[in-house]
Amino acid sequence: MSEKHPIIAVTGSSGAGTSTVKNAFEHIFRREQVTPVVIEGDAFHRYNRQEMRDQLARAAEEGRNLSHFGPEANVFDELENSFRRYGEEGICRRRRYLHNDEEAEPYGLQPGEFTDWEDAGQDSDLLFY
C-alpha cells in the first residue's frame, strides 16, 4: 500500500452492512478531519440498470448464469486502474451509479444510470472504496 496515498477497501454482498461501515468511516473521517475520495463498487458495473436486465434475460434464454459481481458484468480493469493510479498519484477515475431519483436528479439522469467518468482525489488524504 502507498504510504503517501493509502486506500481503504470494504467489500461485501448486498445487505452485508457495507453501507453501515461506510457511514461509520464517514463519521470518523469528519471527526479526524480526513478528506477521502470515495468510490463505490456499483460504479464499476459494466451495464446500467436496464442494460443489466436485458443481459440477464439474454443469459437466461441462453441457459447460462450471469452475476452482478462477475467479470462479465463489471469493468474490473477500470477499478484496477483507479486503485493503481490513486496509489501512485493520489488521483483516480470514478463515476457514480445513481440508485434512485434523489441521487439522479442533480445530474439530470434517470435512476440506474451512471454519471460520466471524472478524475477525483485532488487534495484528498486517502481513497475509500
pTM attached to this predicted model: 0.86
DSSP assigned state of 30? H
2: nearest Cα among 114, 127, 99, 129: 127
Q: What is the pLDDT of residue 98?
A: 96
State phi, psi for 98 to the nearest 5 degrees.
Answer: -95, 105
DSSP assigned state of 78? H
| CATH class for the region spanning 7-128 | alpha beta
Q: What is the pLDDT of residue 2?
A: 62
Which residues lie across from 128 on neighbouring strands? 8, 38
Every domain of the chain and the residues it spans: 7-128
Sign of CA dihedral 128, 7, 12, 66: positive
d(CA 31, CA 29): 6
DSSP assigned state of 33? T
Q: pLDDT of 63-110, one tens digit each?
A: 999 999 899 999 999 999 999 999 999 999 999 999 999 999 999 999
Q: pLDDT of 11-63, one tens digit each?
A: 887 778 888 998 999 999 999 999 999 999 999 999 999 999 999 999 999 99
